[in-house]
């Protein structure tokens, strides 16, 4: 803090904006940085890898069951059809991450809407919305997602929607709790007395303050959604026309005893992305939690 | 006998068993060396709906069904009919009647004798309920002059009749059990079957196991050798392979996983063989919905044929374990045409044909999009076809069904563009081949009928003629002509004979390797 500009008007040591402070806290967490670097690497490879590598992941590029390191053309080997595992690894990330991110977005959108309404309005609205939430909460989410995907033709959109529909309940609960707490605070009451509309109070006054725990939970949901996509594909309910890591594992699992590599590499990729997302989530949790700041 | 011999390694045992099996197959006499007793454990991934093969086709019912129910005849590994429930039979010169002389000592598992009444009842039930309508269609009636003689009167000659009376196609079911007026397809005793085969029913737990035990009153004296047969059901084929390697499972049939077979072949305790499937004649093909505006054009189908590389499928995808299928009749069958029109890989030609057919490549390099469905078991081939057809600009959208019924629904309601399918020949073309190509079998709602909606009056006429031709040489000529037409018009594109393999432990003596394999009676099988 020594290099604070000389003209700083406020002489308090913690005068940074909350976001900057959180970022500083986040950077102090080494495992969170590892997660961030990992995720950045995965995203970069997924975005720029396919055009750079230039191989259609569905294309047959060698003899089926070529082990890694045998054919320089296919450094990670081929699967049971002869498709390039490396191309699948590079190209499959997009779909997996897209499903993860959009499913998390779906989850937060539904969860936030339901939780905010229930928490803010309370009373009958709360009762009804929470009963609905509980109804979804008691359904095993993987099975619910399976049913949704099997009912409609498996496609990436359907999978993202299914995961969203199957896993928004905890977010709703969290949002409701935050809204219940925040709506009684003075600045909200003040807002109300000066005639702010409900809509303004919910989205502009309360929401920004309710966000930190929601951001943490959304991050963790990305990880869960990636696993979900892999699980659905593993069970044969993935979209067979879009390469994803889950699809690679799903179509190779029959051959797991005969070619370890075709399921192991995408499995490792899924493991690393879920790990990176979880580490980031943990880091965010620490950074956004005021009680932990002085640790 | 030489065919069987090669599957045993120690030379001394080979000669003894080879001779013994040949003898037993030829004369129905007891083999010299087999040991009595023991429980044979067979692994299978399929759960049969029930165990009555008289009203249900397919492997899952056929395997245990052939142990529980005896048939009038059985076949050896060289397509020769052998006596079974009928100790002798006679086909009249005009081919219009078949006389069966039944064994006098044959009894059902409940102790009641097997009579000609039961034969007449069974054939009638099969005719009415079995999915293979052509099998007994020409049988006008079955006469029963005495309890041990049954005479089948045919409305027209029917060269397939002897085969139709053999294993898994003509289970003789007791009239006093199944003839109580209930719907045969849903008869409660289909789950607790009573037959006259070498093994009687003990227990069936769906998805778990089927237990059969030796029938002490079986009509072939001294048979069967085994005390028990247990069919262990496990959907996970990897577990079945592990079971074989550990020795928990003695035998597993209908395995097509080339990589796994390669691994099992190296196991000192196991024998892997492709023998025992001659009568089944499984052909995997790419079926086209001819009602589709683009796939309805012959040139498009031929272009697709030129794009599919059979050699790659056989040699790479199946590691050399499958054989190409060149036409509608399985290659092992003498009626098959070895000189049928081939569509060897030729991408240039395919591209030109598609251009000429009016489907030029668009800016993105594709010509048109079609969906491709697949039976789950042939998923790898569908996965191969997607990038392969893309090479000529056909954008294939895969539809992988979550389960078999979903796929069957798509195909039988004609709601598909293309699908990978496996259809069995069932020994004689009349039973397994005609159904795919005759106009009269375009039946919505029936799987493995003419779901392609293929219709050619000339083919209809030829198959009609072939179905009644008794002279084998003339019959072959008719089938050759038929094959010439369909291999040009391609209502389906035949890709490969399914690489079915049986894996058995070396402890298994007289493994089931006749044309019906494990779908034939296993009264000769024993454990060393």
Is A11 inside any structural domain? no
For residue B388, the chain A residues in CB contact (below 8 A) are 60
Distances in whole angstroms, Cα of residue B322 to Cα of each of B251, B428, B433, B514 = 21, 21, 20, 19
Contact call for A254 and B238, based on CB within 8 A = yes
Task: Provide the pLDDT confidence category of residue A292 given band limits of 50, 70 and 90.
Answer: low
The answer to whether residue A92 is domain-embedded is yes
- Of A82, A251, A256, which is closest to B316 when you measure between CB atoms? A82
User: Which stretches in chain B have pLDDT values below 50?
Assistant: 1-31
- Chain B positions contacting chain A at CB under 8 Å are 237-238, 241, 257, 259-260, 262-263, 316-317, 319, 376, 379-380, 383-384, 386-388, 390, 397-400, 402
- Mean pLDDT value across residues A217-224: 86
- Nearest chain A Cα distance for residue B301, angstroms: 22
Q: Within a domain: residue A233?
A: yes
d(CA B77, CA B512): 9
Instruction: With a cut of 60, say whether residue A112 has pLDDT above it.
Output: yes
Residue (of B154, B267, B150, B162) closest to B506 by Cα position: B267
Name every chain A residue with its beta carbon within 8 A of the beta carbon of B397.
241
The minimal CB distance from B380 to the residues A81, A236, A256 is found for A81
Residue A43 belongs to some domain of the structure? yes
B259/A258 Cβ within 8 A: yes
Q: Do residues B65 and B171 lie in contact, with contact meaning Cβ atoms separated by under 8 Å? A: yes
Pairing of strands B228-233, B270-273: unpaired
Residue B226: predicted pLDDT: 94
A237 part of contact set with chain B, CB < 8 Å: yes
Distance CA B496, CA A212 (A): 60
- A1 within domain boundaries: no
* Residue A107 in tokens: 């989850």
- Note whether ipTM > 0.90 here: no
B487 min Cα distance to partner chain A (Å): 27
Of all residues in chain A, the one with the smallest CA distance to B315 is A63
Chain A nearest C-alpha distance from B48 (Å): 22
Contact of A259 with chain B, judged by CB distance below 8 Å, is answered with yes
Is A15 within the bounds of a domain?
no
Return the H-helix or E-strand segment holding A25.
helix A18-28
**Structure-model confidence comparison of residues A211 and A42, the more confident one:** A42
pTM of the model: 0.80
Given CB atoms, is A143 within the 8 Å cutoff of chain B? no
Query: What is the reported pLDDT for B494?
Result: 94
pLDDT in tens, A13-33: 555 677 777 787 778 788 888
A254–B237: do the CB atoms touch at under 8 Å?
yes
Q: Does A173 touch chain B (CB under 8 A)?
A: no
Phi-psi region of B500 (alpha: psi -120 to 50; beta: other; left: phi over 0): beta
Looking at the complex, report in whole angstroms how far the Cα of residue A289 sits from the nearest Cα belonging to chain B: 45
- Is residue B62 within 8 A of residue B49, CB to CB? The reply is no
Contacts of A136 (CB under 8 A, 6+ apart): A144, A165, A166, A168, A169
A260 inside 8 A of chain B by CB: no
Q: Which residues of chain B make contact with A236, given a CB cutoff of 8 A?
A: 376, 400, 402
Is the residue at A146 inside a domain? Answer: yes
Q: Are the Cβ atoms of B390 and A82 closer than 8 angstroms? A: no
Domain of residue A75, residue span: 20-293
Ordered alpha helix ranges (H), B29-115: 59-68
Q: For residue B86, what are its two tokens? A: 């009928």
**Each residue's pLDDT tens digit, B215-228:** 999 999 888 999 99
Task: Name the residue among A59, A237, A256 with its Cβ closest to that of B387.
Answer: A59
> For A194-219, what is the mean pLDDT?
82
pLDDT digits (tens, 9 = 90+) for A122-158: 888 888 988 898 888 888 888 888 888 888 877 888 8
CB pairs under 8 A between A and B: 60
Is B397's CB within 8 Å of A241's CB? yes
Task: Give me the phi and psi of B324, to 5 degrees please.
Answer: -65, 145
A62 reaches B (C-beta below 8 A):
no
Residues 6+ apart with CB under 8 A from A211: none
Give phi and psi for A270, each to the nearest 5: -65, -45
CA distance B90 to chain A (A): 50
pLDDT given at position B447: 84
CATH number reported for the structural domain that contains residue A202 in this entry: 1.10.3720.10
- pLDDT value at position A5? 52
Q: Inter-chain contact A63–B316, Cβ cutoff 8 Å? A: yes
How many structural domains compose chain A? 1
**A147 touches B at CB < 8 Å:** no
Main-chain dihedrals φ then ψ at residue B82, nearest 5 degrees: -125, 150
CA–CA distance, A222 with A106 (Å, rounded to integer):
10
Q: For residue A10, is it within any domain?
A: no
> Which residue in B380, B390, B400 is closest to A80 by CB distance?
B380
């Amino acid at each position: 803090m020594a290099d604070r500009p000389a003209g700083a008007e406020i002489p308090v040591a913690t005068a940074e904006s909350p976001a900057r402070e959180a970022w500083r806290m986040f950077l102090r967490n080494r495992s969170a940085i590892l997660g961030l670097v990992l995720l950045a690497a995965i995203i970069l490879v997924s975005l720029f890898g396919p055009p750079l590598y230039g191989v259609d992941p569905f294309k047959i590029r060698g003899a089926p069951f070529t082990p890694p390191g045998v054919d320089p053309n296919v450094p990670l080997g081929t699967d049971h059809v002869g498709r390039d595992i490396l191309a699948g690894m590079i190209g499959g990330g997009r779909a997996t991450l897209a499903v993860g991110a959009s499913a998390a977005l779906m989850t937060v959108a539904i969860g936030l809407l339901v939780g905010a309404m229930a928490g803010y309005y309370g009373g009958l609205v709360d009762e009804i919305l929470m009963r609905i939430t509980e109804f979804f909460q008691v359904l095993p989410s993987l099975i619910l997602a399976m049913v949704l995907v099997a009912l409609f033709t498996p496609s990436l959109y359907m999978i993202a929607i299914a995961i969203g529909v199957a896993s928004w309940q905890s977010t709703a609960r969290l949002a409701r709790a935050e809204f219940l707490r925040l709506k009684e605070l003075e600045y909200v009451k003040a807002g109300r007395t000066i005639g702010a509309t409900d809509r303004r109070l919910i989205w502009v006054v309360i929401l920004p303050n309710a966000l930190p725990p929601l951001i943490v939970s959304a991050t963790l949901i990305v990880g869960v959604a990636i696993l979900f996509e892999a699980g659905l594909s593993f069970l044969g309910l993935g979209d067979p026309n879009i390469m994803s890591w889950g699809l690679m594992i799903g179509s190779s699992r029959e051959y797991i005893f005969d070619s370890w590599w075709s399921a192991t590499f995408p499995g490792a990729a899924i493991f690393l992305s879920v790990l990176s997302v979880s580490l980031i989530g943990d880091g965010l949790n620490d950074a956004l939690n005021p009680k932990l700041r002085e640790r | 006998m030489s065919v069987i011999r090669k599957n045993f390694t120690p030379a001394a045992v080979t000669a003894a068993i080879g001779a013994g099996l040949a003898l037993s197959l030829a004369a129905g006499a007891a083999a010299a060396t087999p040991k009595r007793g023991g429980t044979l454990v067979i692994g299978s991934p399929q759960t049969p709906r029930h165990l009555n093969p008289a009203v249900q086709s397919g492997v899952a019912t056929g395997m245990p069904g052939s142990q529980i129910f005896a048939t009038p005849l059985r076949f050896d590994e060289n397509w020769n009919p052998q006596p079974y429930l009928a100790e002798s039979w006679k086909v009249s010169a005009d081919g219009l009647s078949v006389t069966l002389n039944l064994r006098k000592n044959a009894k059902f598992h409940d102790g009641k004798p097997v009579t000609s009444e039961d034969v007449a009842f069974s054939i009638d039930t099969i005719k009415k309920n079995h999915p293979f309508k052509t099998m007994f269609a020409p049988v006008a009636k079955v006469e029963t002059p005495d309890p041990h003689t049954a005479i089948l009167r045919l409305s027209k000659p029917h060269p397939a009749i002897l085969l139709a009376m053999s294993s898994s196609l003509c289970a003789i079911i007791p009239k006093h059990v199944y003839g109580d007026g209930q719907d045969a397809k849903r008869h409660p005793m289909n789950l607790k079957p009573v037959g006259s085969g070498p093994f009687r029913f003990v227990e069936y737990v769906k998805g778990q196991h089927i237990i059969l035990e030796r029938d002490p009153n079986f009509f072939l004296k001294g048979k069967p050798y085994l005390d028990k047969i247990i069919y262990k059901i496990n959907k996970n084929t990897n577990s079945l392979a592990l079971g074989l390697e550990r020795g928990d499972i003695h035998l597993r049939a209908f395995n097509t996983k080339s990589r796994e077979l390669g691994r099992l072949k190296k196991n000192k305790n196991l024998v892997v063989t492709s023998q025992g499937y001659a009568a089944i004649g499984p052909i995997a093909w790419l079926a086209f919905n001819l009602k589709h505006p683009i796939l309805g054009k012959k040139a498009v189908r031929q272009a697709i044929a030129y794009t599919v590389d059979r050699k790659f499928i056989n040699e790479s995808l199946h590691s050399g374990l499958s054989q190409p299928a060149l036409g509608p009749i399985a290659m092992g069958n003498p009626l098959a045409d070895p000189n049928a029109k081939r569509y060897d890989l030729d991408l240039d030609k395919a591209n030109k044909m598609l251009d000429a057919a009016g489907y030029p490549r668009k800016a993105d390099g594709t010509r048109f999009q079609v969906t491709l469905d697949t039976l789950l078991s042939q998923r790898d081939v569908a996965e191969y076809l997607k990038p392969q057809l893309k090479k000529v600009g056909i954008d294939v959208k895969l539809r992988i069904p979550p389960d078999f019924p979903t796929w069957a629904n798509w195909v039988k309601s004609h709601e598909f563009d293309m699908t990978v399918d496996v259809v069995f020949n069932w020994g004689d073309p009349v039973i397994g081949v005609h159904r795919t190509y005759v106009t009269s079998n375009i039946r919505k709602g029936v799987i493995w009928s003419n779901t392609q909606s293929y219709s050619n009056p000339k083919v209809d006429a030829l198959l009609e003629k072939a179905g009644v031709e008794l002279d084998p040489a003339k019959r072959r000529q008719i089938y050759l002509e038929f094959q010439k037409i369909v291999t040009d018009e391609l209502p389906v594109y035949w890709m490969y004979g399914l690489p079915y393999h049986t894996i058995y432990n070396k402890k298994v003596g007289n493994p089931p390797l006749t044309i019906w394999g494990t779908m034939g009676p296993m009264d000769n099988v024993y454990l060393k």
